[in-house]
């Protein structure tokens, strides 16, 4: 999802570990292809804090078990900490102002008038599951192969005028 969110054209995906397989949507254009240039001009590159879980990390990735690292992205998935203020895997991020004192209903996202689940970038404490927001707005974990929605987070650049 991270590669798709920050990709253009149809050549946005590359395997990062020996376990990676092409996503079913690999031949679709990256998300950035559909964002107007005037919008991209006001989106800041953001230092996104990430963490790996403590049970397993892919042997050919750049991260070790229970490590913290950062990525620079225009668009990214929010972390469990940024949405809920708590986390299983500490990545060093802080809760988004939008979600401080939020209720479960405040975290529900809709697509075609139906409440949908959405992925977080936070891993679960095992190698099979990922953290996500259930359609009711509660934090949950799903098997990594279960389909869910992507809610893009971004930071608007500060105006110099």
Q: For 42-96, write each residue's pLDDT tens digit.
A: 999 999 988 877 665 554 456 666 678 888 999 999 999 999 999 887 888 999 9
| Closest to 144 (Cα-Cα) out of 19, 16, 3 | 19
Entry pTM: 0.86
What DSSP assignment string belongs to 115-126? EE-EEEEEE-SS
Summarised one tens digit per residue, pLDDT across range 82-131 is 999 998 878 889 999 999 999 999 999 999 999 999 999 888 777 677 88
- DSSP designation for 157: P
């Amino acid at each position: 999802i991270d590669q798709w969110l920050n990709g253009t054209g149809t050549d946005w995906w590359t395997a990062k570990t020996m376990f990676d397989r092409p996503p079913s949507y690999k031949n679709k254009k990256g998300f950035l292809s559909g964002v107007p240039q005037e919008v991209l001009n006001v989106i800041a590159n953001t230092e996104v804090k990430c963490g790996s879980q403590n049970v397993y990390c892919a042997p050919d990735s750049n991260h070790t078990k229970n490590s913290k690292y950062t990525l620079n992205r225009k668009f990214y998935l929010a972390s469990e900490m940024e949405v809920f203020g708590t986390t299983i895997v500490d990545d060093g991020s802080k809760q988004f102002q939008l979600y401080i004192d939020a209720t479960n209903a405040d975290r529900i996202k809709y697509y075609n008038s139906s409440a949908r689940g959405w992925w977080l970038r936070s891993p679960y404490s095992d190698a099979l599951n990922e953290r996500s927001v259930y359609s009711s707005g509660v934090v949950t974990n799903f098997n990594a192969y279960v389909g869910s929605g992507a809610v893009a987070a971004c930071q608007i650049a500060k105006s110099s005028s």
